Amino acid sequence: MTGYTREELLAAHEQLVDNEDNLIADGGIGIGDSGTSSALRADGGKEPPVVVKIGGAKAVDPKGAVSDVAHLVANGTDVVVVHGGSTAVDETLEELGEEPTYVESPSGVSGRFTDERAMEVFSMVMPGKLNTDLTALFREAGVDALGLSGVDGGLLTGPRKSAVRVVEDGKKKIKRGDHSGKITSVNATLLETLLDGGYTPIVTVPMLADDGVPVNADADRAAAAVAGALGAKLVVLTDVKGVYADPDDESTLIETADTPEEFSALESAAEGFMTKKVMAAKEALDGGAAEVVVADANLNDPIVTALNGGGTHVTPGALVEAEGAEQ
């Protein structure tokens, strides 16, 4: 992640500054169709923070996101970055002669099974190398970035899952020895204190389980928990343009989900890795997030583009039952 020169970052930043389509009269970045500053609404109230989830796949280039975050912060927007790193964890396991283990839940969601050895590697790679490298990259771009894991300050906490339900050879089984957990609490006060002090938190898992042991947690869902706790807009950056009605056809991008019916269609369309991102969108909105956008990381201005209508937008109305439905 440190393969970008200062000149490249500055050039990307200047390109964003010169992008007049994304600027408004007072120099702020336009958000949505309102034409208001990224920091202040028309009524003088402050815009909600932006939580950005940067994926850990090789196909996700963080360069554009780094420049966007630098520009958003310079214009007064509070930003929290949450990052993944599953590819780097798998590569490190393989270098050590270990085989990464993935399992499928009864609901069809695939995820990592984190045994004791995998947890050791996870702790080395995620809060160690990846978080340090990404924090340094943001600081090189002029962002006062501060790296944190979910353990620091009890940032991400919740119950531990020592066993998980899986499907193997078509049969439902209980697989024990998992080192993972479910995030049920976010230390929002810590994040708000850092934001008020001018810092941009760069957050990664592990989380801290209720027995005091660091355990793995899904990074998309960690970002969702943070966005919900802060009442933020969540931008989930990935290696495709958003959620497609036909997963093999990018021209079928689903641009919005504003009603329960549209959200149901979104859930039905999501396959593979996108299933967790849609699940995270629901959890974020249930937790109090203002909006969720699933968008392409590999654009020049990926975050600004997402906030201005790019990608798939999911709003709180997507989780509200139609009026009178319960009568």
43-64 pLDDT, tens digit per residue, is 556 789 999 999 877 667 788 9
CB 232 within 8 A of CB 226: yes
Find where tokens 């005091």 sit.
212
pLDDT recorded at residue 1: 42
Give the span between the Cα atoms of 228 and 315, in whole angstroms.
Answer: 13
pLDDT recorded at residue 103: 86
pLDDT recorded at residue 165: 87
What residue segments make up the domains of the chain, in order of their start?
A: 6-90+116-156+182-319
Binding site for substrate: which residues? Answer: 112, 216
Binding site: which residues? Answer: 112, 216
Q: Distance of alpha carbon 220 from its chain centroid, rounded?
A: 5
Question: Order of strands across the sheet with 291-296?
Answer: 145-149, 200-204, 79-83, 50-54, 233-238, 291-296, 312-314, 256-257
Among 270, 271, 282, smallest CA distance to 224 is for 282
Sign of CA dihedral 32, 33, 35, 40: negative
pLDDT recorded at residue 36: 31
pLDDT recorded at residue 59: 61
6-90+116-156+182-319: CATH number: 3.40.1160.10
Find where tokens 């930003």 sit.
79
CB 228 within 8 A of CB 272: no
Task: Find residue 204's DSSP bridge partners.
Answer: 149
Residue numbers in the chain where pLDDT is lower than 50: 1-4, 6, 8-38, 42, 322-327
pLDDT recorded at residue 34: 32
Within the chain, strands assigned E span 50-54, 79-83, 102-104, 110-112, 145-149, 156-158, 160-168, 171-181, 185-186, 200-204, 207-209, 214-215, 233-238, 256-257, 291-296, 312-314
Q: Give every CB contact of residue 327 below 8 A, 6+ residues apart in sequence.
A: none
CB 254 within 8 A of CB 242: yes
Q: What is the pLDDT of residues 210-242, one digit of tens each?
A: 999 999 999 999 999 999 999 999 999 999 999
pLDDT recorded at residue 18: 42
Give the span between the Cα atoms of 196 and 188, in whole angstroms.
Answer: 12
